[in-house]
Amino acid sequence: MSDHASDSPGAPVAPLFADAMALRRVHDRTGASSASFRGNLGADWTIGPKVHGGVMVALCARAAREAYGPAPGTGGWEHGAPAAARIHPLAVSANFLSAPDPGEVYLSTTIRKRGRRLGLVDVELIQGQRACVHAVVTLGALGPLTGEQSEPLFTDGTVAGVMTAFPPTDVTAIGPGHPAAAVNHLARGCDIRPQMVEAVAGGRAPAFRVWVRPRAGPVDDLFALMCGDISLPVPHAVGRRGWAPTVQLTAYLRGLPADGWLRVLCTASQVGRDWFDEDHTVVDHTGRLIVQTRQLALVPAE
């Protein structure tokens, strides 16, 4: 358990993100090319009554990696290799077809490519008779076979320039009394500290800042992928509040996070009458770029 977990006597036990990512293999349908899994996404991982989109993106990435397994004969892709040389979900392109309720889900996977450097896996997340998410996951190693994360030739330092490594003391966590507590149930398992932006004026683009870490358990690549959808929707900044369903989200994993606080900058290029875009940039407390996401979503009704 991480040092930020609560040790107070009688304090409720924080739900573990790792439990939400747990999968049980059901069977391999056609040998090595297809596999299916069962998972359970409980009410702790919902926004309002529905399962959080970022959690589903992370679970699809987990299913793809489990289905793919270690690539025979490639050395660095084996599970025993250093962390940066293991298989990771480098890109996830997810289309959201319907919003599942908390509970059991079924994930069907098909391996489309097994290459020397990259693999490609289709994933369908299903609840009951409804397909909820269709994702295409690109798998590969983040670093060389030594497992070292090499320094990039260039990195945009915008996030580190506008957000401190740790949340300021005046930024409160979502919890009892916080205006987002009734809707954002992820706060049971995550310490989420958003800076609220109430309005946009003078043509300035909305920019929401969020600091986040698990209440218990480590920060890993799947948790960081989930954080690529952690902010409240950007239409909030122009007075449109309510359900803003994501239609499509693409996530890139750029590095492995250091354990501890992640800082997330959420921006948008345009909030239209019907559609809006939303970008998340996730940086760890050391300043390393970890995840980038872009999504297309529907603007809440007036």
Closest CA to 97 of 58, 63, 53, 67: 53
pLDDT at 202: 66
pLDDT at 263: 98
C-alpha–C-alpha distance, residues 23 and 68, integer Å: 14
pTM: 0.92
Q: Which domains are delineated in the chain?
A: 17-298 (2.40.160.210)
- For the chain, which residues score pLDDT lower than 70? 1-11, 28-32, 71-80, 144-148, 196-202
C-alpha–C-alpha distance, residues 120 and 123, integer Å: 10
pLDDT at 33: 86
CB-CB contact of 90 with 253 (8 Å): yes
pLDDT in tens, 161-213: 999 999 999 999 999 999 899 999 999 999 999 986 655 666 778 889 999 99
pLDDT at 170: 94
- Sequence letter at residue 193: R
